[in-house]
Amino acid sequence: MDTEQDYKKPERRVADLAYEAVESLIATLALRPGAPIVEAELIERTGLGRTPTREALMRLVANGLIVQLPRRGLLVSDIQLAQHLDLLEARRVLERLIAATSARRATPPQREALLAAAETMSTAAAAGDLAAYMRADQALDRINHAACRNPAAVAAVVPMVIQCRRFWYAYQHQGDIGEGARCHQALAQAIAAGRQDEAAAASDALMDYLRRFAQQVIE
């Protein structure tokens, strides 16, 4: 007999899809900072219903990608240059924890999937294909987050990851995706090999790269 939890699973899945779809529109600047959020337009663009779309918007408000202003409704939040280095400093601690934990807890299929995602990033970087590079980057993050099996750390880091992804899209002309791919490959290799200390160090190196990129933009 179906339980109440069973009936909720499809709705939860659709809500996650709606969140990912709207988040992607914001992170890739298809919805630019300051743009008003029109629910009907989002439903049309994503092909998903009103309930999951509204839930997605609530989550995006909580994650700081959407702001709710009196008499103006929902707007895409601005990119805060002055606060971005602080964000990276906080993200650094969480990513280091996640990487070391993934190195210890990842399953063999997850280790293989991490290596495959990193290889895809390298191939996309060599081809100058930013869209493919970012898709592989997102895939690597999802695998890494699942592998660490630390929901608290993942919940804390995901809004930071999204903000960094949007920052990258906004200022990609100043970035070096080849270096980014190399950093991700070192991280994936350390996790896949189960080397916790090396995974933590590789995570730090990736954050150093993102910080250098951010400093170039800010300066």
Q: What is the reported pLDDT for 1?
A: 38
Kindly report which listed range (68-72, 114-118, 176-180) carries the lowest average pLDDT score: 68-72
Q: Which of 14-18, 33-37, 86-90, 207-211 has the lowest mean pLDDT?
A: 14-18
Q: CATH 1.20.120.530: which residues of the chain?
A: 81-218
Query: What is the CATH topology of the domain spanning 81-218?
Result: Four Helix Bundle (Hemerythrin (Met), subunit A) (1.20.120)
**Residue 194 pLDDT more than 70?**
yes
Number of neighbouring beta carbons within 10 Å of residue 13: 11
Residue 38's CB is within 10 A of a number of other CB atoms, namely: 13
What pLDDT does residue 115 have? Answer: 98
What pLDDT score does 5 carry? 38
pLDDT classification of 8: cutoffs 50, 70, 90: very low
pLDDT of residue 174: 61
Nearest C-alpha neighbor of 13 from the set 43, 42, 45, 48? 48
Whether the per-residue pLDDT at 81 is higher than 50: the answer is yes
List of residues 6+ apart from 96 with CB closer than 8 A: 200, 203, 204, 207
Q: Where do we find the tokens 């280095």? A: 85
Sorted by sequence, the CB contacts under 8 Å of residue 163 that are 6+ apart come out as 64, 65, 79, 84, 87
Report the chain's mean pLDDT, rounded to a whole number: 89
Q: What is the third-level CATH fold of 4-76?
A: Arc Repressor Mutant, subunit A (1.10.10)
For residue 172, is pLDDT > 50?
A: yes
Q: Round to whole Å and give the CA distance between 33 and 121.
A: 27
Q: Where in the chain is the domain with CATH 1.10.10.10?
A: 4-76
Minimal CA–CA distance to 91: which of 218, 210, 213?
210
Q: Which of 87-96, 127-136, 139-148 has the lowest mean pLDDT?
A: 127-136
The closest alpha carbon to 118, from 18, 173, 199, belongs to: 199
**Highest mean pLDDT range out of 131-135, 198-202, 213-217?**
198-202
**pTM confidence score:** 0.82
- Under the banding of pLDDT at 50, 70 and 90, the label for residue 173 is low
DSSP state of 49: -
